[in-house]
Every structure is written in structure tokens, then in C-alpha cells.
Amino acid sequence: MLSSRKPLPSQARFIDPFQPEHIRRLVGRFGSPLLILDCQRVRSQWRRLARALPGVALHYALKPLPHPALVATILQEGGGLDLASTGEVQLARRLGAPPARCIHTHPIKRPVDIENALLFGVRTFVADNPDEILKFADFAGRARLLLRVAFRSATAVVDLSRKFGCEPADVPDLARLAQRLGVEVRGLSFHAGSQAADATRHVEAVQECARLMAAARRAQLGRFDMLDIGGGFPIDYLQPVPPIGRFCAPLRRALAQLPRGVQVIAEPGRYVCGPAAIAVAQVVGQAQREGSRWYYLDDGLYGSYSGQMFDHVRYRIESLRPGTRRFPSVLAGPTCDSFDVIAEGIELPRLNNGDLVVGHAMGAYTSACATNFNFIPRATVVTVNAHPRDTGSVTPWPAAPRPPRLP
């Protein structure tokens, strides 16, 4: 078990940075726009998922928000990391992550990425095709593989089996190839699709993988005693989802059917960081256009709201101005591109320039995929509750430029 079961430290020592008074205080101190990341919410998401999946070793997938304070919080919780690039390996190393708790799950890597991860001490990698397995011939004895299997998802918001994963029927041939090269195959992995509507695909994938692993063990193609069930655990956006314990119930039942001795790991991303951050933007200008009030913000589709494009998510957005009378309004981003519109027909009170607008559940796939198009800087990430009594601090973000090969 990677996740610890320590009781939460006394709540009184932590603040709730999503309260309007703290949002205003943080904007006063750090300016706007902000992404406010609450490490205490990271901890509770982590512990909720660990309770929902007992016996499963959780590895936080850095991709949705590779922020050092967030990664450090996971490490304090005793969690593992799912790394997918040399930059992410470098961050894990800088934070002193124990390499034994890290896996590398990008199915396509440059040899230098494999070397960098090995140099750091990662042992477990993912491959899904013969070309990639051949790359490991040079590292036989030092790396072990999980074969990623594709299970297409029609119901997940983001289907992660279109671009990656082998056909289930290809598993034996891939395992035989690895065996010929002297590369150990430990088991299988899959990603059932991000923001899954329910656990049906996870369950089907576990059952199919169990059959494939049993067949591979019978054919003496390797140990096949590790199953990586990926991520995909959903969170509330405008559409509420079941609580994580209920979402995972069928998955728990499927995992309970696995033979004793199969080690199960998971790679949650969105579930851990999504609800732990809010985006705060300021109204910088306004105009009346075709019957609607347009408010121009200092953050938009090329910034924190990039998730509306890349991640296909709509966020719950509200203003901090009290007011019962609401008017259909438009929220637009700061760039000169007319495409940069966050929301139309949103009901808001009459706002003044300088008023703050808050987007909820904006930790995952937001800041991480933001750009500085038009030379407009991304939102500053402020972390709060990284330790008790931490009322807000800024770490240089994104990380410094990365060398291709670690020194």
C-alpha cells in the first residue's frame, strides 16, 4: 500500500482559500489572474480515492497539473507518481521522490527518455507496440514492462484508447517479443478514458485483462502479476457525478475476483487535482453588444480556460459580486482572437471593472495546457495549505527549461 492512513491534521490549522475573503486577499497580494491550489483539498481527494480503492497503489499522473507543491503533497501522503516525460522525471527527482514509487507510462518514448527515467531509478515502463519493445533491448534487465491494452470508450469525455494501446489479441505476440529480447513483462495496463461516466469500461477492462494475464502466465510469457487500471475517475463539473466510493463499487468487486498475488496500481490525475483549484479572473473591460453585456477578463480560452477546448469541459463560473438580479452575459478572454469567448448566455449580476469571476474545479488540464498567446501571461498559481498555516505562496511556474538529458 502506498497511501497512508494518517488522520487529517486538525482542520483549524488550515484555511479555506476558496472563501471570498481569502480569494480577495490572495488577489490583493499576488494580482490577477490566479489559479488557487488548495493542498488540503488535494489531500482529501487523495484519501477519498484511496478509501474507494483499498489495496490499490495510487500513482498521481502529473499531466493534468504538474505543480511542485501538488506533487510534494502526494509524496507526503505516501503516494506514488505516474511520470510521462523527461520533464516530469526531472520534477520528481528535484522533489526527492523515491524512484521505487514512480512508474513511467508514456507508451512512446525517445531512448533518451528511457535512459533519464532509468538514471533516476524508475523500473516500470509501458509499451504497446513492437517498435517500442525493441527500444528496451538495450535496457534488458534494468527495465520491466507493462503492456498497454486499448479499450475504446464511447462514454468517457476523453477517449485515451484511440491513440494508445494494443489490441487485446496482440498481447501474446508482444510478450513473446519482449521475452526473446530478455525484457521482463510484469503485466498489463489500460486507460478507460478520462472523466468516465461510470465504471463499466474499467470493469470490462479488468475482466479482459484478467483473462489475458492468466493466458500469458499459462503460456509462460512472464510474471503477469501486475495490473495498472489507469485513471479516468470523474469529478463534478456542471454535470454532477456519483461520489467516488459509489463510482468505484463495481470496480472493487471486479478487482476482488483477481487471483491472489496480482498487484493492482492506478494512475489518477483529474480526480486528485481538479476540485483542488479555482481560477480567479478580473473584469478588465465591458461593452454592450447585440443585447448582451460582454465582460472581458484577464484569463480566457488561451489561458486557464484552455480546458474547455483541449479537455472538452464546461466549468461552473460565478462572480463574487452579490446581487439577486441577473442578466444574460458573455464572458470573453483577453486575447485579440474572437474565438476567445469563455461563456455566452451566462446569468450574472451587473459587474464593474475590477470585479472577480471564479471558475470552479479548475485544477486539471487548465493551467497545464495554457499558453501565453498574445504575450498575455498565464495565471499565477498560488498554493495554499502546503503545510499548516500556509496562507499562500507562489512557486516559479511553469518549471525552468529542461535539458534533454539529465546531468
Contact flag: residue 61 with ligand PLP (CB under 6 A): yes
Three-state secondary structure call for residue 125: strand
Q: Cα–Cα distance between 264 and 379 in angstroms, integer?
A: 37
Give me the helices (H) in 219-338, please: 244-256, 270-273, 307-310
In this complex, which beta carbon is closest to ligand PLP, that of residue 61 or of residue 185? Answer: 61
* Cell representation of residue 396: 516559479
Q: Is residue 268 close enough to count as binding ligand PLP by CB under 6 A?
A: yes
The reply on whether position 230 binds ligand PLP by CB under 6 A is yes
Contact 227, 262 (CB under 8 A): yes
Nearer to ligand PLP, 268 or 275 (CB): 268
78 binds ligand PLP (CB under 6 A): no
Task: Give the one residue of 30, 120, 125, 233 binding ligand PLP; rule: CB under 6 A.
Answer: 233
Closest CA relative to residue 102, chosen from 126, 131, 67, 133: 126
How distant is the alpha carbon of residue 401 from its chain centre?
21
Grid cell in block for residue 244: 467516488
Q: How far is the CB of 380 from ligand PLP (least distance, A)?
A: 23
Up-side HSE of residue 81: CA atoms within 13 Å toward CB?
35
Q: Per CB under 6 A, which region of 66-74, 170-178, 227-235, 286-294 contacts ligand PLP?
A: 227-235
- The stretch among 90-98, 266-274, 321-329, 353-361 that binds ligand PLP (CB under 6 A) is 266-274
Binding window for ligand PLP (CB under 6 A); candidates: 92-100, 265-273, 288-296, 371-379: 265-273
Take residue 236 and report the three cell numbers written for it. Answer: 463534478
Q: Does 307 bind ligand PLP (CB under 6 A)?
A: no
**Burial (CB count within 10 angstroms: exposed 0-12, middle 13-18, buried 19+), residue 153:** buried
Interaction between residue 67 and ligand PLP (CB under 6 A): no
299 is an interface residue for ligand PLP by CB under 6 A: no
Q: How far apart are CA 402 and CA 388, in angstroms?
A: 31
Which sign, positive or negative, has the C-alpha torsion 377, 379, 384, 387?
negative
Q: Is 267 in the site for ligand PLP (CB under 6 A)?
A: yes
- Applying CB under 6 A, among 165, 232, 363, 392 the residue interacting with ligand PLP is 232
Residue 82 interacts with ligand PLP (CB under 6 A): yes or no: yes
Q: Are 233 and 270 in contact (CB under 8 A)?
A: yes
CA torsion angle for 155, 157, 163, 165 (degrees, to 10)? -50
Which residues between 87 and 126 bind ligand PLP (CB under 6 A)? 105
For the window 192-211, what string marks contact with ligand PLP as x by the rule CB under 6 A?
A: --x-----------------
Angle (deg, nearest 10), helices 39-52 and 244-256: 40
Based on the shown chain and the rule CB under 6 A, indicate whether residue 161 belongs to the binding site for ligand PLP. no
**Contact flag: residue 63 with ligand PLP (CB under 6 A):** yes
Report how many residues bind ligand PLP under the rule CB under 6 A: 17
Q: Which residues bind ligand PLP (CB under 6 A)?
A: 61, 63-64, 82, 105, 160, 191, 194, 230-233, 267-271
